[in-house]
Structure 1
Amino acid sequence: MSQTHVIKVTKDKMNQMRVSYEKNRLNKNIPYTDFIAKVGTTTITAYTSGKVVFQGPDAERIAAKWGISTSSKSSKSSSTSKKNNTNTLPANFSQLSVLGSDEVGNGSYFGPVTVCAAYVDKDMVAKLKALGVRDSKELTDPQIINLSTVIKEIIPYKLLIVEPEKYNQIQPKYNAVHMKVALHNQAIYLLLNELAPIKPDAILIDQFTPEANFKKYVKSEKNQVTEKLYFITKGEQYHVAVAAASIISRAAFLEELDKESAELGIKVPSGAGSTADKIAAKVLEKGGMELLSKYTKLHFANTEKAKQLLKK
């Protein structure tokens, strides 16, 4: 039976794992991941939060090499857990008036982090679906940009863009999860103020951290949103408001990448793979760390890799 084992590792241990699985890495660009590798029939997904998930028949043995498993479950129990999670949403949730939020760019070396909160009144749900608003991962980049333009004309939203230069100033004080909590909270707070006196039936956040963790970090924020909050992974499947927020966020991220490419005169990639290392080395050669800091998230491992490439 397929097993899932989860461990939490330090930055040093994560670096060791990244080197160890260099030859096993998969060329996948998944948000919030440091790397994804496959060893035999076991998939290893390392998240920027420090969590590492091992999935496959040999997961327990491979995970044991790196640390003590914090959770272990069969694929059957995993699906049960997901089912229970959806039961926390109110009945007929997809047809309610909902404020949804999502973010893009946290797992990409180049480009900003974009967070969007979008409000979809129950009377607009069918219209958005008819326009083709759905999970942004199912859409091409041109479709995303075109849809975003339309969506922004017909529903209220609040978009926050944290450029790399600003991100690098914040990052030493805020870890990746804390930063996302702060941005989601702020986008939701600002949109709620604009909507007043209208109040959504619910606020759905595309879940990137356990609810307790979100609430822990949000306590340090000046303007805390705490009522009617719901958290669920793949939130775009449960309400079109999250799908709309995802599309607006993704479009903004893509537009910022295009802007970076134009300014640098080099096509910059999304993600944090080997292509990003090579482009970063070119940016370093062009303007050193000062220039690189304006376009990338410096704490990513890509920075050191780019430096090494430049020495060769």
Structure 2
Amino acid sequence: MSQIQVIKVTKETMKKMQTFYEKHRLNKTVPYSEFVARIGNTTITAYTSGKVVFQGSDAEKIAAKWGSSLKTNKKTSSSSKKTTTLPANFSKLSVLGSDEVGNGSYFGPVTVCAAYVDKTMVEKLKALGVRDSKELTDPQIIQLSKVVKELIPYKLLIVEPEKYNQIQPKYNAVHMKVALHNQAIHLLLRDIEPIKPEAILIDQFTPETNYKKYVRSEKNQVSETLSFITKGEQYHVAVAAASIISRAAFLEELDKESAELGMKVPSGAGATSDKVAAKVIAKGGLDLLSKYVKLHFANTEKAKKIAAK
């Protein structure tokens, strides 16, 4: 059973938590968060508002170290979050999986990858170390991505910040991800024809009903049956491969931005992003900033205030 605990901490306590969990931080971006870390089976997500969410078997125990819960302990079966029931042998099937990276990061693009893993390749990829990208270091992800892309069919879509800012007024964050997942899957299915995957699994980022609502407006709507499940990389290596390729592309784009701007560009949407954005504004104004960040994030207004001092 999974527990959820939410506490509110001061800025001073938040700094202590950042230091304490530094070695346990995950390569994961969550909107308006300071950091995401994992201790054993418990995930800690700290938000800029001061709220910290603990989720996992030891949530209550770990949260108690830092403060009192804002709400009563909530126990949920992990299966209650799933909108898809997968067969017991799912991990051994030939599956097309998709995942995305960058949606919660102020700097950098949104990257979405669809990857097809034939059942004959499942064990080989696992032996290479293909697993949840959050369990790998950035250098490992970049190196592993190069190997994986030589072994399996995939389709990678990259929406640079400048393009993102043009699309964003029409597409909210969820709608944009739905469109990108659908397009990546559509293009990969076309590339691997006449092969038909035994299943298509999307790492779930919104309820299935919501996905279907947004995808209706897409030109190349995938008609095949889709499965949705959170932490999809735990259920099939195809999603793990898609996650690694997406993450590597995101990291490589951040490196390009850093080189172009002459300063280290961070991932995430914390205070460091505000400070770097302020330097970009000082260098070339909002016109320059718009080429490197997702302007609708609250970070933009914060950066403008810092730059004005």
- TM-score normalized by the length of structure 1: 0.81
- 2:181 matches 1:184: yes
AA matched with 1:296:
V
- Out of 47, 50, 71, the residue aligned to residue 60 of structure 1 is 71
Residue 58 of structure 1 aligns with an amino acid whose one-letter code is S
Say if 1:186 and 1:223, in contact at 8 Å, map to a contact too.
yes
Take 1:258 and 1:148, find their aligned partners in 2: how far apart are those partners? 16
Equivalent in 29, 32, 42 of residue 31 of structure 1: 29
User: Alpha-carbon deviation of 1:122?
Assistant: 0.2
Offset at residue 301 of structure 1 (A): 0.9
**2:125 matched to which residue of 1?**
128
Aligned ranges 1:1-312 → 2 under 5 Å: 4=4, 27=18, 30-35=28-33, 58-60=69-71, 74-75=74-75, 77-82=76-81, 85=82, 88-312=85-309
Unaligned runs of 5+ in 2: 19-24, 37-43, 61-67
Report the Cα distance in structure 2 between the residues aligned to 1:248 and 1:87, rounded to whole angstroms. Answer: 24
Instruction: Work out the CA distance in 1 between the residues paired with 2:178 and 2:109.
Output: 16
Separation in structure 1 between the aligned mates of residue 215 and residue 150 of structure 2, nearest angstrom:
30
Per-residue deviation at 1:81? 1.6
Across the aligned residues of Structure 1 and Structure 2, the Cα RMSD in angstroms comes to 2.8
Helix, strand or coil for the counterpart of 2:189? helix
Give distance in 1, aligned partners of 2:241 and 2:126: 10
Code of the residue aligned with 1:170 in structure 2: it is: I
Aligned length: 278
Q: Which runs of 5+ in 1 are unaligned?
A: 7-17, 62-72
Whole-angstrom CA distance in 2 between matches of 1:157 and 1:304: 38
CA distance in 2, matches of 1:244, 1:33: 23
2 CA distance for matches of 1:291 and 1:310?
14
Kept after mapping to 2: 8 A contact 1:119/1:156: yes
How far did 1:130 drift?
A: 0.6
Distance (whole Å) between structure 2 residues aligned to residue 125 and residue 139 of structure 1: 19
Percent identical among aligned pairs is 74
Shift of 1:35: 2.7
Cα 1:80/1:152, change in 2 over 3 Å: closer
Cα separation, partners in 2 of 1:156 and 1:53, compared to 1, 3 Å: same
Q: CA deviation at 1:162?
A: 0.2
Give the match's secondary structure for 2:32.
strand
How far, CA to CA, are the matches of 1:112 and 1:218 in structure 2? Answer: 21
1:59 alignment partner, SS class:
coil
Structure 1 position 80, deviation (Å): 4.9
Q: Are the counterparts in 1 of residues 84 and 229 from structure 2 also a CA contact under 8 Å? A: no
Query: Which amino acid is the alignment partner of residue 74 of structure 2?
Result: S
* Superimposed CA distance per residue, residues 207-252 of structure 1 (whole angstroms, 9 cap, x where no aligned partner): 0001110011000101111322110111000000000000000000
